[in-house]
Structure 1
């Protein structure tokens, strides 16, 4: 059974932008879209039997259906369903995210009906969901996914902007590369694969030699990691980029003109609990484009 694309909805501008992005992604993947709202309030006695009383939960449900109706009108070929689930925002989103092909959230949204993205909910959800999670900021449009036209104006008819993914070949990154290559292929977009490295402390006389050696080693490791995926996705135009520096700084910069940034989150269990990782955390706060966080071992 195919998993749906799931988007969280709270009525905010960011969640509406996320819903539009999720609808386009569902169409690209040939999947259905499920719009989910977490209900954390109380239910007025008799409200469920008499929705005409317009209790708070019914009003929230109406906002949810309005979002779905707008998506159905904008994307008539897309199958759109809705779910209003009782529970805390984090619990609901973690539960539905675990069953989704990918979970789409409005990044750092505040307020709105239900208020499901208030505070640190996004970071908690990203730190627990093992399926890919995509964060979309308010104001994002279809034109933002495409290159500007020859006059420098926004366009929906130009090629897609590049997909950027950061990897570390020293750790398993199959899930990360699979998601990035598939995303690029679905958009017929180029893929920019970024590998960062840092120069250790060495004596000044040896710095240049060590710098060249480490840059060459990083390039070889990157090429070896990417080569099998080039064969699986021969139509994807791949650019390998090796940069010195911290990935938390270099990746958002490398994705400055991108349509999607893909970063990894290592799945760890222990006394400290789930976490987003410093690279994903930096991308979530600094990248201008949508950010996909892909969990991996």
Structure 2
């Protein structure tokens, strides 16, 4: 599918690579490898975006007090985890400038917002064997349907 887009192919080639990460405790190595390698090959920067998964009923209960009282709250904790997870990749690809964004919002919206001026968008798809064929998650689905930039879906464990 090709979308009508006022940006030219040259503008996409020069834009940063955007990657949406879901799980900071175990970031997907194939996803990060692809995104860093793509940014290095394009000689551009990499923007890593993450929207923390909030516990159910985040607005109520004792868990809220515990999370909020910890240093930095949910966003601060996610930023620390994201920085720690990216450290080995920054060492492996020192030529790639890396920025990251953590927002308390819907993950698909966070990725699509970051992708507005991107040259390439990278999202993952967990590999599992569903009974009725391959499936992609809601973020990959939204990005495939709404991002103006080229999108790569990388399967990972």
In which range does the TM-score fall when normalised by the shorter chain?
0.7 to 0.9
Number of corresponding residues: 150
Report the Cα distance in structure 2 between the residues aligned to 1:145 and 1:210, rounded to whole angstroms: 42
From 37, 57, 72, the counterpart of 1:182: 37
Superposition RMSD on alpha carbons, in Å? 2.4
| Runs of 5+ unmatched residues, structure 2 | none
Q: Does 2:138 match 1:291? A: no
Whole-Å Cα distance in 2 between the matches of residues 269 and 210 of structure 1? Answer: 40
> Is 1:209 aligned to residue 68 of structure 2?
yes
1:282 equivalent in alignment to 2:135: no
Equivalent residue in structure 2 for 1:161, among 8, 12, 15: 15
| TM, length-normalised to structure 1 | 0.46
Work out whether residues 120 and 149 of structure 2, in 8 Å CA contact, stay in contact via their aligned partners in 1: yes
Secondary structure in 1 matching 2:149: coil
Relative contact order (C-alpha < 8 Å, sep 6+): which is higher? 2
Query: Which residue of 2 is the match for residue 228 of structure 1?
Result: 88
**TM, length-normalised to structure 2:** 0.84
Give the secondary-structure state (helix, strand or coil) at the position aligned to 1:256.
helix
Flag structure 1 segments of 5+ consecutive residues without an equivalent.
1-106, 108-135, 147-159
Please state whether the residue corresponding to 1:265 is helix, strand or coil: strand
CA distance in 2, matches of 1:237, 1:192: 9
Bigger Cα displacement from structure 2, 233-242 vs 197-206 = 197-206
Contact 1:198 1:246 in 2 (8 A): no
User: Offset at 1:240?
Assistant: 1.5
